[in-house]
Chain A
Amino acid sequence: MFVKPMPPFPDTSLADRQSRFQALVLPHLDRLFGFAGRRTNSASDAEDAVQDACLRAWAAFDELRDESVVRAWLYRILRSVLSDTHKKDGRRRQLVSITRLEDAHETMVGGDPDFAFAEVVGRLDREALHAALARLPDDFAIAVELHDIDGFKYQEIAEITMVPIGTVMSRISRGRRLLAGALVDNRAAWALGTDGNDERRNLARRLHGGRKQ
């Protein structure tokens, strides 16, 4: 866990603690912003969430005794902030039927042996991938993103999401299957640049064009 039972934090000046906090936290801002950006509706919402998380982290800074886990600790706080925001806003993602995605995945894996999934996925741009991720239930999307995008190990993801490691394993497995289903389900749209365009443009705006000045 992130909090270890250790003696009280040694007396250091406020300036030293601020410097230490900044040195530990600021290098992770981009990734935190990226994670928040995939779970909010605009860049400004993502920035607000990251700011809230950093201020909460500062308030609880003395609880962090092991600096090697600072990144996972920050993600856990950010996830809590985002969860609070979603509850407050009553935000609901537009999800597609899980059964439909699972069926699409099953059909693909058990179907045409010449269909080169890796090749198709390799040609997709980030907006297409993010749009597909956005169609997954949050628990599955978060587990997949924390591992595949943010590079956390299963044990770290278990600590960030506060679930057993077996649950993490199951969520990543099912999450990737659902993601594959979502991509296959929409591959005609991605390839033709038709149905998915609005969704892709919205996503691009969310992270790059939606920033409030």
Chain B
Amino acid sequence: MSNVRGETGAFSLPDPDNEAERERRHQVLATLLAAYADGEVPIETASHIDAHLLGCVRCRRELDVHRALRRTLARDSIPAASAELRTRILAGIDAAPPPAPARVATTGPWSVSATWWRDQTRVVRGALALAAVGLLASLALAIGNGAIDRREPSATPLAEVAVPSLPLFGQVLEDYRLVSAHDLPGRSRDLATVREAVPFPVEALSLAGLRLLATWTTDLDGEPAAVLAYRWRDQLVLHYVVSEQQLFRPSEVRRAFAGGRLLAARAGAQSMIAWPTAAGGALIVGELPIEELARVRAAAAGPR
């Protein structure tokens, strides 16, 4: 076996001494032809492919396909964005508050789409449009900028809710109880694999004394979630990462976040806290007082 390591990863090339091995070698190299055509393989890998191409008609044809498509797509003309779009964006930026981390939305609907904005401008241009854009931008600020997250966690007020009022809280609590009553999932995946498995970013919490034990994926009410298990002062803390849509669905959640508060709940000896992240939502749950859980949550306030 020979190993080829480059910026696109390490590849093991089978010994070409027999037919089966040659076929395996062909299969491995065939998967690299696109990267080879794009100049994205290191020199030593390119040398292996050069040698293989000399004797492999099929790979030469495959390479021609990659090159032809790349060449043709590169000629694709770029449609021009309309002047109206530029005007709308500039008006939106003018009307929006500056992207200061401490700013949060104070009122209004959570989800204001551009379609809604455009329709409104048709009806009442001027003041109404400015107000709508202001709302949109400040609401987007609350999610996109993670402004709430950047506050000093100890100073971030908590909005305590009853677990039954929020289905997601109930599901997380149920999952936590199930996991904590048994061994942690036996075939825990590494964080990179979990990140690849869910359609939103997953960032581990980082805090002295907080040790990541395992990560895996699950589903909450049929929607994917990543779970990270930590040890914190001999207690199990589970960190659920969910999609933005799932977290923000209840109006109670949107109101709390728009008001600059995090959501918290108690259920017996267990507590949980939820907060929005740059492109998703996070919840932590553990058998800890809410105040202590809030300190653990502080780990999420670092730079993203």
Q: Could you tell me which A residues sit within 8 Å of B by CB distance?
A: 3-6, 14, 17-18, 21-22, 25-26, 29-34, 37, 43-44, 47-52, 54-63, 77, 80, 83-84, 87-88, 105, 108-110, 113, 117-118, 121-122, 124, 126, 129, 144-145, 147-149, 151, 153-155, 162-167, 169-170, 172-173, 176-177, 179-180, 207-208, 211
Q: What secondary structure prevails in chain A residues at the interface with B? A: helix
B contact residues around A14 at 8 Å (CB):
98
A contact residues around B58 at 8 Å (CB):
109-110
Contact B67 A54 (CB under 8 A): no
Q: What secondary structure prevails in chain B residues at the interface with A? A: helix
Contact A47 B99 (CB under 8 A): no
B contact residues around A43 at 8 Å (CB):
82
Contact A5 B144 (CB under 8 A): no
Q: Could you tell me which B residues sit within 8 Å of A by CB distance?
A: 7-9, 31-35, 38, 40, 57-58, 61-62, 64-74, 76-82, 84-86, 88-90, 92-94, 96, 98-101, 113-115, 117-118, 133, 136-138, 140-141, 144-146, 192, 195-196, 199, 201, 244-245, 278-279, 302-304
Contact A118 B34 (CB under 8 A): no
Contact A166 B8 (CB under 8 A): yes
Of the candidates A25, A34, A179, the one whose C-beta lies within 8 Å of that of B78 is A34
Of the candidates B72, B73, B304, the one whose C-beta lies within 8 Å of that of A63 is B304
Q: Can you name 23 A-B residue pairings with CB atoms under 8 Å?
A: A4-B303, A14-B98, A21-B93, A29-B85, A30-B79, A50-B85, A51-B92, A55-B114, A55-B140, A58-B92, A58-B96, A59-B99, A59-B144, A60-B278, A77-B144, A80-B279, A108-B65, A110-B58, A118-B64, A122-B72, A147-B70, A151-B74, A211-B82
Contact B195 A162 (CB under 8 A): yes
A14 CB to closest chain B CB (Å) equals: 5
Contact B141 A59 (CB under 8 A): yes
CA distance A116 to B135 in the complex (A): 56
CA distance A3 to B76 in the complex (A): 31
Contact B114 A48 (CB under 8 A): yes
Contact B78 A31 (CB under 8 A): yes
A4, A50, A118, A169, most chain B CB atoms within 10 A: A169
A contact residues around B33 at 8 Å (CB):
173
Contact B79 A37 (CB under 8 A): yes
CA distance A201 to B244 in the complex (A): 36
A40 CB to closest chain B CB (Å) equals: 11
A contact residues around B101 at 8 Å (CB):
62
B56 CB to closest chain A CB (Å) equals: 11
Contact B98 A51 (CB under 8 A): no
Knowing A47-B85, A55-B137, A180-B69, the reply to whether A62 touches B100 (Cβ < 8 A) is yes
The count of A-to-B residue pairs whose CB atoms sit within 8 angstroms is 199
Of the candidates B65, B90, B93, the one whose C-beta lies within 8 Å of that of A176 is B65
CA distance A79 to B100 in the complex (A): 24
Of chain A, the residue at the smallest CB distance from B10 is A166
Of the candidates A33, A54, A121, the one whose C-beta lies within 8 Å of that of B68 is A121
A36 CB to closest chain B CB (Å) equals: 9
Lowest 5 CB-CB distances: which A-B pairs, in order? A148-B73, A118-B68, A48-B114, A173-B34, A59-B141
B contact residues around A84 at 8 Å (CB):
244-245
Of the candidates B35, B80, B94, B113, the one whose C-beta lies within 8 Å of that of A172 is B35
CA distance A140 to B86 in the complex (A): 30
B279 CB to closest chain A CB (Å) equals: 6
Of the candidates B8, B68, B72, the one whose C-beta lies within 8 Å of that of A154 is B8
B contact residues around A165 at 8 Å (CB):
7-9
Contact A26 B86 (CB under 8 A): yes
Contact B93 A153 (CB under 8 A): no
Of the candidates B8, B64, B80, B96, the one whose C-beta lies within 8 Å of that of A55 is B96
A116 CB to closest chain B CB (Å) equals: 9
A105 CB to closest chain B CB (Å) equals: 8
Contact B85 A51 (CB under 8 A): yes
Of the candidates B34, B78, B137, the one whose C-beta lies within 8 Å of that of A59 is B137
B contact residues around A148 at 8 Å (CB):
69-70, 73-74, 76
CA distance A124 to B72 in the complex (A): 9
Of chain A, the residue at the smallest CB distance from B245 is A87
Knowing A83-B199, A144-B73, A180-B65, the reply to whether A48 touches B86 (Cβ < 8 A) is no
A contact residues around B201 at 8 Å (CB):
162
Knowing A30-B79, A31-B78, A47-B81, the reply to whether A121 touches B69 (Cβ < 8 A) is yes
Of chain A, the residue at the smallest CB distance from B141 is A59
User: Contacts A25-B89, A26-B86, A52-B140 given; 16 further ones with Cβ under 8 A?
Assistant: A50-B81, A55-B93, A55-B136, A56-B140, A58-B96, A60-B278, A63-B278, A87-B245, A109-B61, A122-B68, A122-B71, A144-B69, A147-B38, A148-B74, A164-B196, A173-B66
